[in-house]
Amino acid sequence: MPMLLYLHGFNSSPESKKALQTRDWCAEKAPDLTFVCPALPPFAEPAMDILRSLIEQQLPESVYLIGSSMGGFFATCLAEQYNLRAVLINPAVSPGRGLHRWLGENSNYITGEKWVFEPRHIDQYMALDPDEIKYKNNYKVLLQTGDEVLDYRDAQSRYQGSDMSIEQQGDHSFINYHQHLASIVQFLMATPTITKLTP
């Protein structure tokens, strides 16, 4: 059975609003999809280890990705590595640049769990950052200009050439996300267009 892998944002959890909306929508509208939303640590290497393990257990069955904020960054890393289709919601772009404010002790927004962020953890994010986007046709990118956390123009530039929707105003949580779920799943499950080059 195809798997829809939802990747929540930095310092969030599977109990985030968009994760729950996606889970409930799939249960009602797409019961042929296995919805999976793992709890991701705020550290790049263990988070990617969890996600790669889930994907490699699933392949060669189809895997589809939805990533929000930092989850969008992880989804990009995975889409580039495994050639997967991904929908990105206000995705983080080259997030290693903006993580210094997290150095020290923090607590999870939802669970309250304490964790400590060190400079080496920023280095891990920077090492993961793809040099380029090779599979532009694999992405649908949803942006809102009112994102108060990330500058939407970074993603607009990074994913140029991909399927992209830019809504005016909104915020980092992506207001009215649930209204996009039908088109999100339709994009993910569509057969990719393959361009044949004439010799």
- Averages of pLDDT over runs of 10 residues in the chain (199 residues) are 96 96 96 96 97 95 97 98 97 93 94 95 96 96 96 96 96 96 95 47
Compute the distance between CA of residue 135 and CA of residue 84 in angstroms, rounded to an integer.
9
CATH number of this structure's domain 3-189: 3.40.50.1820
Compute the distance between CA of residue 152 and CA of residue 59 in angstroms, rounded to an integer.
32
The pLDDT, as a whole number, for residue 196 is 39
Note whether 80 and 133 are within 8 A (CB): yes
**Could you tell me the residue ranges of all domains in the chain?**
3-189
Compute the distance between CA of residue 140 and CA of residue 162 in angstroms, rounded to an integer.
6
Length of the chain as a residue count: 199
Note the pTM of the prediction, 2 decimals: 0.93
Longest dimension (CA), the chain: 58
The pLDDT, as a whole number, for residue 192 is 60
Compute the distance between CA of residue 163 and CA of residue 183 in angstroms, rounded to an integer.
12
- Mapped onto helix, strand or coil, the DSSP state of residue 195 is coil
Note whether 145 and 171 are within 8 A (CB): no
- Mapped onto helix, strand or coil, the DSSP state of residue 136 is helix
